[in-house]
A and B are shown apart, each in its own frame.
Chain A
């Protein structure tokens, strides 16, 4: 299975830019698309889709979220970080069978 590696936690200050990385053990991109997606999860809630196909902002998601990357290296950026963004962020790939998720990066306040 494709392993997605994320840093376990990041300490952030409100108003700063934060970059969350996700590295895949094999490519998750075709010649046309990257099959990497990002979700936000708050305690006691279900995950929420933020970014799909690496860089497409899901409808209703604030523009301070953005995604980039291809192949095996992907990032989720939040700029600027707001209090409501304190949560855990998961990457997920759907190019290689089965779909797999990263272990999550928990944003914490400095």
Chain B
């Protein structure tokens, strides 16, 4: 069965970076894009962007350019998202999801907390 297993919760200091992972199983990894979505209580769900898992090509929501960097390791069927120059506004649950849209399978989410 299709599964997207995300890494564990992160506690980070303002100005630092975090890199969260999304390991896919149950399907051919390079046949589907991986997208990333941010969820907060205040802003709701926000689309960050996607990565073409075959070519490594990326597309970002303008709002997240410079904030998020998407990469992929085909050998381990894992997608990554690095968030840089963290501020408290980056505190959220981050989901990976399969495909460009609609998102047919989602990871369980990673809670990122930015606090000094």
Interface residues of A (CB under 8 A from B): 35, 37, 39, 45-49, 52-53, 58, 90, 92, 94, 98-104
CB–CB B104/A58 < 8 A: yes
* Contact status B44-A52, CB under 8 Å: no
A46-B106, A46-B108, A48-B106 given as contacts; is B101 within 8 A of A101 (CB)?
no
Q: How far is the CB of B64 from chain A (nearest CB, A)?
A: 9
- Whether B27 is near chain A, meaning CB under 8 Å from some CB there, is no
In whole angstroms, how far apart are the Cα atoms of A48 and B107 in the complex? 10
| Main secondary structure on B side of the interface with A | loop
19 A-B pairs besides A37-B103, A58-B104, A92-B101 with CB distance below 8 A are A35-B101, A37-B102, A39-B103, A46-B95, A46-B107, A47-B103, A48-B106, A49-B102, A49-B105, A52-B102, A52-B104, A90-B45, A92-B102, A92-B103, A98-B61, A99-B47, A100-B47, A101-B46, A103-B44
A101 touches B47 (CB 8 A): yes
User: Whole-angstrom distance from the CB of B58 to the nearest CB of chain A?
Assistant: 13
**Which residues of chain B have C-beta atoms less than 8 A from A37's C-beta?**
101-103
Q: Which residues of A contact B62 (CB under 8 A)?
A: 98
Least CB distance, B32 to chain A, in whole angstroms: 13
Q: Which residues of B contact A46 (CB under 8 A)?
A: 95, 106-109
Which residue on chain A has the smallest CB distance to residue B47? Answer: A99
Given contacts A98-B62, A98-B63, contact A49 B45 (CB under 8 A): no
User: Given known contacts A98-B61, A98-B62, A99-B101, is B106 in contact with A92 (CB within 8 Å)?
Assistant: no
